[in-house]
Structure 1
């Protein structure tokens, strides 16, 4: 992959994480409701970008590394659990502290009453299967991992298995995950398609420049028009399975449109080159290396902050909250995303023990 294009994708990844943080400012109550503009509400679109990027990167890495299924599983487990495991445990611990200190009601964190049930549910990313809709306490953005991790599993089965075994395993997995994950699977698969498409097809530079700007303008128009809300309402009214509610997949029609814009934008960016980004390569790579941590940590910080700082008009307090999010992201990132080598060794040892036990 050309360095400028890889750098562009990293920049998009970090900006998308920032937009997710910004999109929670009003819903979480950091500032008063009624003060939001469309550009403060791009969180869902950012998750769509994450899904496309995820499919793209998985297709790229599996093709480049020529690894087997075992190495694929270790790599994916390292990437996900290095961040998810510590933060889920931290979320339960913080929720317990809030309840025990009398600052929160146990009813708000009912999962604390059955940790033996909910911890495995979250750590196995089963919170979005079929009719379930269960993010961990204080970690609402975790919902998207309930999609992405299963897409990793589905891709691994499709890529590494052969013959009847592949068909049986894929069929069983699709039956397990349920309709919500089926609906957003095309968005993730679009990233896989993008990887293969951009290798062999280029766009003339004038057309690529026009297309790049056009995708941004169309996204802005899409949000300003309120079409995303209209499509969400239509999807809810037309959904034919009332006993299987859409819940976190209720924006799938809008997600498809955003997915097309994201894929088109990336294709145009691939042909444009963006050589100038090489001048800021180090800071962009550094910031992007904290993306996953920022995506989850900010929710913890916001939720706990609002318990102790309920004032919605204190701009100084909001500024301090931003500083806290940055500081906590850096600290947690040092123990998670920036310690992947340690986590990888853990999963290599676990894989070796499992293999020895199987023998």
Structure 2
């Protein structure tokens, strides 16, 4: 992966996380309905495409065996998920004690132990279930992404009949909701393979790079109509059961556009972008390396500080303060979560090897 493509990926990761954050901040309880915001769900689709590409890259170039691949995946996810599962109850309990009205409709705390176990094991979106963890709605996507890692890992590291048996059992375990968005993730895998084995004319790549955002924005204006048409055929009762996969057709469209944009990047010669940003590359990398924490922590922290500061959503000053202090908190948390994943990797490796040695005995 060239420096320029890596920079594009870093920018994309941060922008996607930031879009989700801004989308949630547009809720009336935070910004008084001051501005309408879209693309929250679409930003998650960007994550899926990037994830498919990056996981293919690391499996091909670094983590080329079952053990290293899965240890790296567990380390990456649990470095943020474990702190989230510990800290969110604290934020929510204190926040609701101060102002419970802020949390109406935005938290789920019944059957807490079940929700905790489901999110700890990434089983929160199996079949038609959806076990939201307190106020942290964004955790839903990890219930998809983790199983894409698992299916991909099994497909490339297992051999023979055992591979197909385990893949079949895994798909039966996770259910249709998660599988519906798997093609989006796999498109990222395909793009990596295309980059590795093919070339594309620079002029064509540049046309794709600049036309795709315009084409996406045009199609996006028809997303509601597309989804309404789909469910007029298959029924709204199915829509209610699909949860975050309900807009799967428009998610495929989003994934197609995002994927083509990523595909074009390698061939358009964006060395000038790297030179233009210069020292700013370190800043971009800093924010990109905090994107996972921004994504998972921002909403509970919005609620927490809104309660703690007696937030007035109709005050511009309050709006600026709430957004700034939340972003700063997420960046600070990233320094002890995802940026410390090597510590998690160390202990997960020790645990893996202990289990491995017991199995061999």
**For residues 95-114 of structure 1, what are the structure 2 equivalents within 5 Å?**
95-99=92-96, 103=100, 112=109, 114=111
What is residue 207 of structure 1 aligned with on the other side? 204
8 Å Cα contact 1:95/1:109 also seen in 2:
no
What is residue 314 of structure 1 aligned with on the other side? 315
Matched positions, count: 354
8 Å Cα contact 1:298/1:329 also seen in 2:
yes
List runs of 5+ in structure 2 lacking aligned partners.
Answer: none
8 Å Cα contact 1:98/1:104 also seen in 2:
no
What is residue 327 of structure 2 aligned with on the other side? 326
8 Å Cα contact 1:28/1:303 also seen in 2:
no
**1:170 deviation in Å?**
0.6
**1:304 deviation in Å?**
1.7
* CA RMSD, 1 decimal: 2.2
8 Å Cα contact 1:235/1:251 also seen in 2:
no
- Relative to the length of structure 2, the TM-score reads 0.91
Q: 1:58 aligns with which of 31, 40, 55?
A: 55
**1:310 deviation in Å?**
4.6
8 Å Cα contact 2:302/2:322 also seen in 1:
yes
8 Å Cα contact 1:78/1:343 also seen in 2:
yes
List runs of 5+ in structure 1 lacking aligned partners.
Answer: none
For residues 2-44 of structure 1, the C-alpha deviation after alignment (integer angstroms, 9 at most, x for no partner) is: 11111111111111111111111223632233731xxx21111
For residues 96-121 of structure 1, the C-alpha deviation after alignment (integer angstroms, 9 at most, x for no partner) is: 33455673699968854543322111
In the superposition, relative to structure 1, how do residues 28 and 151 fare at CA in structure 2: closer, same or farther (>3 Å)?
A: farther
In structure 2, distance between residues paired with 1:238 and 1:269: 38
Q: 1:260 aligns with which of 245, 256, 262?
A: 256
**For residues 12-31 of structure 1, what are the structure 2 equivalents within 5 Å?**
12-27=12-27, 29-31=29-31
What is residue 155 of structure 2 aligned with on the other side? 158
In structure 2, distance between residues paired with 1:260 and 1:253: 11
**1:87 deviation in Å?**
0.8
In structure 1, distance between residues paired with 2:103 and 2:219: 40
8 Å Cα contact 2:305/2:326 also seen in 1:
no
- Relative to the length of structure 1, the TM-score reads 0.92
For residues 204-263 of structure 1, the C-alpha deviation after alignment (integer angstroms, 9 at most, x for no partner) is: 22221111111011122123x2x1222232333433694781111011111111111111
In structure 2, distance between residues paired with 1:320 and 1:143: 28
**For residues 1-359 of structure 1, what are the structure 2 equivalents within 5 Å?**
1-27=1-27, 29-33=29-33, 35-36=35-36, 40-99=37-96, 103=100, 112=109, 114-223=111-220, 225=221, 227-239=222-234, 242=237, 245-278=241-274, 279=278, 280-308=280-308, 309-358=310-359, 359=361
In the superposition, relative to structure 1, how do residues 110 and 284 fare at CA in structure 2: closer, same or farther (>3 Å)?
A: closer
In the superposition, relative to structure 1, how do residues 241 and 222 fare at CA in structure 2: closer, same or farther (>3 Å)?
A: closer
**1:297 deviation in Å?**
1.4
8 Å Cα contact 1:8/1:274 also seen in 2:
no
In structure 2, distance between residues paired with 1:266 and 1:197: 11
Structure 2 counterpart SS, 1:271: coil
In structure 1, distance between residues paired with 2:103 and 2:313: 25
For residues 56-97 of structure 1, the C-alpha deviation after alignment (integer angstroms, 9 at most, x for no partner) is: 011000000253211111100000000011012211222233
